[in-house]
Structure 1
Amino acid sequence: MKISFLVAASTLLTAGLVQAAPTVNGGQVHFKGEFVNAACAVSSDTANQTVDLGQHRTAKITKAGDYTPNVPFQIKLVDCDTEVSKTAQFAFSGPQDATDTTLLKIHSGPSANAVTATGVGVEISDSKGKVLTPDGSVLSAAQTLIDGNNTFNFIARYKATAAAATAGQAYADANFVITYN
């Protein structure tokens, strides 16, 4: 009888320990997406990308119109249906440089204490070399779509707006739209 009682008591104690495990809030998971009524969808790996234009010496900027080397970047369209549209073109928009409105205005980026470089802006061109102004009015060369995935190539670079650049952070932001035909 004592053995039965001890086994029953041990079982109850063990069950109590198992049930005593705490549950705590661990955080949240955010899900993001979008449905579009268009010929293609923008690939998630190029929809919100960062293009690193690199670090450059101010001494290399000696006159307005000087450029840093080209930095290629791509925007990929996926799940394209050529029954809906045959071509696609891109336009970019963002804050314009005060001196040269064909360029994106630069800022100091996410750091509130950072110094912003001066004397340069960011220029975006399509694969044919056509400058895509940040007012959204200039469309890239039309590219024929194929069913499935399509890649569009662009170039970004800094362009001098003055005879000298000053040191500092040089970030710029642009949104893009796609025109299907």
Structure 2
Amino acid sequence: MKMKKTRYGVVTCFSMGFFVNAAQAASPPQVSVLYSGNLVAEPCTLLPENENVIVDFGSVVDKYLYLNHRTHGVPFQLNLTDCDLGLGKTLKVTFNGPESTALPGLLALSAESQASGIAIGMETEQGQPLPLNAASGKYPLQDGNTVIRLQAYVQGEPAAITDKTIGRGPFNAIATFNLEYE
């Protein structure tokens, strides 16, 4: 599973046309260009190596899912540096992506996956669910560096477990995440 920080911005494009008559041809035309943007300060910096996080589940045995319905959580973390508590004291994380229809709140597999009947869940280090497309609870920021420890797991869909129809093969899923400071 890959995750990356998303940033929202606005790009404004202007179409400029100008006409030159014979009298103006002797002097070069003057064109005005308007640039705009929004410079902001974020309380922390996300390390570049955390902008694309890969969680490798290795080999997941279908018999294990039939018996236990889900795997143990595989840990991953987001490392934030240069945290300035004057700009924010807490952080919420929102994972966004296509939601499993059989397991609401969990991430659906990408279309190119060969495996089927499973979805990817995310949770806190303590095992509290982090539903997809919903903001997490607040994580306190530390002055300087802050580490957000999370886990991901594979869960079998109820019908696939009951009917023993989990499809084997490689799988992947992609979620993006937003960091919201308060």
TM-score (normalised: structure 1): 0.70
Q: Are the equivalent residues in 1 in contact too, given 2:105–2:131 (CA < 8 A)?
A: yes
Question: How many residue pairs end up in the alignment?
Answer: 140
Q: Are the equivalent residues in 2 in contact too, given 1:76–1:151 (CA < 8 A)?
A: yes
The match for 1:69 is: 72
Identity %: 27
The match for 1:133 is: 131
The CA distance in 2 between the partners of 1:69 and 1:54, in whole Å, is 12
Please show how residues 87-166 of structure 1 align to structure 2 within 5 Å: 87-107=90-110, 116-134=114-132, 136-137=133-134, 139-161=135-157, 162-163=160-161, 164=164, 165-166=166-167
The CA distance in 1 between the partners of 2:110 and 2:88, in whole Å, is 37
The match for 1:19 is: none
Q: Which runs of 5+ in 2 are unaligned?
A: 1-6, 8-38
Provide the secondary structure at the position in 2 that maps to 1:91: strand
Provide the secondary structure at the position in 2 that maps to 1:53: coil
Structure 2 letter corresponding to 1:116: Q
Runs of 4+ in 1 over 3 A off after TM superposition: none
The CA distance in 2 between the partners of 1:36 and 1:116, in whole Å, is 43
Change (3 A) 1:168 1:88: same
Which has the larger helix fraction? 1
Provide the secondary structure at the position in 2 that maps to 1:61: helix
- What is the root-mean-square deviation of aligned Cα atoms in Å? 2.0
Provide the secondary structure at the position in 1 that maps to 2:103: coil
Which has the larger strand fraction? 2
Q: Are the equivalent residues in 2 in contact too, given 1:103–1:123 (CA < 8 A)?
A: yes
Q: 2:82 aligns with which of 76, 79, 83?
A: 79
Q: Which runs of 5+ in 1 are unaligned?
A: 1-33, 110-114
The match for 2:14 is: none
The CA distance in 2 between the partners of 1:84 and 1:61, in whole Å, is 44
The match for 1:180 is: 181
